[in-house]
Structure 1
Amino acid sequence: MSINLNQIKQDLTQITNDVLTAANLRRGDIFVLGCSTSEVVGGHIGKASSREVGATIIETLLEILKPLDIQLAVQGCEHINRSLVMERSVAEAHDFEIVSVVPAMHAGGACSVAAFEQYSDPVEVEHTVAHAGLDIGDTAIGMHVKFVQVPVRPSLDTLGAAHVTALRSRPKYVGGPRATYDI
């Protein structure tokens, strides 16, 4: 499959804006990305990673999220236990446990590598509690999104050849018959 990086950027912008609208994130919130560039280019997850596609995806997300002061955490693959790349300042502000690993193309994936290269002071953390996230290629981001998770259906359900899903979170409803909820 031939990939048009401009189309990837355009489609990802639309998808991300759909998720941001649904999630109603605030300054400082964390947005998690799980992405298989192999799936984006039409391959099988983990078998056709594209450094160029990964760099385009991370660059596009940072262009959207940075002006909003929303922090991007990029999930790696199972070969690094789905640890996430984020800026050190974010990890330290949230007291996330920093782990010792540097992502590689086939141990972390192209988006993790791109984030590690594009961040000013990148670290890997074992877990995060994101407020919303985007899953490109069915990489399973749910473990990193705060409860209660609510599916978001972006207007586009594919990026390149990859299936796209998204999550946002909302506070838990607690109480009984007398409780009211302001959402």
Structure 2
Amino acid sequence: MTSDQGDPRVEDAPVEIFEAYFDARGWASERVSEGEVMASASGSWSQYELRAVWRSDDQVLQFLAFPDIKVVVDKKAQVYEAIGMINEQLWLGHFEYWSQPGIIAFRHAVLVDSSGQMSLEEAEAVAEAALEECERFYPVFQFVLWGGKSPSEAIQAALIDTAGEA
């Protein structure tokens, strides 16, 4: 498909690619709407809700990953500080705190060319990058929320480089 004239599938083409990717990984997925699909994936630290949302008007695919992290009200300031310090280290995407449900989200947006198409490899790269960052920084949030560590201590503790293998 190189044109959206006469082909209704272009409206949700990137979402279809993510559906195929989620299916190939064996992750339970569900089409939420014409332009959105969600899946559930298990990581080392958490179960993740993944969402691919296509905005055809803007030619933007937004990918979100939600680790199973609930932020307690008295730790919001520390979580905001940790998110700021974490985001300084990211090349793609960013973490956010969503205050209404009290959760952490990882979000990344991709501009898609005028064809409205993504390859399976591009979808895989977006999803895997999001999961890798969530897995990498999940312990930081746990140290801040439940371990009594400051954001800088949490980052130092969580990102210790180990030598060798156990």
TM-score (norm 2): 0.32
Larger Rg: 2
Higher relative contact order by CA 8 Å / sep ≥ 6: 1 or 2? 1
In terms of fraction of residues, the more helix-rich structure is: 2
Task: Give the TM-score, by structure 1 length.
Answer: 0.30
More strand per residue: 1 or 2? 2
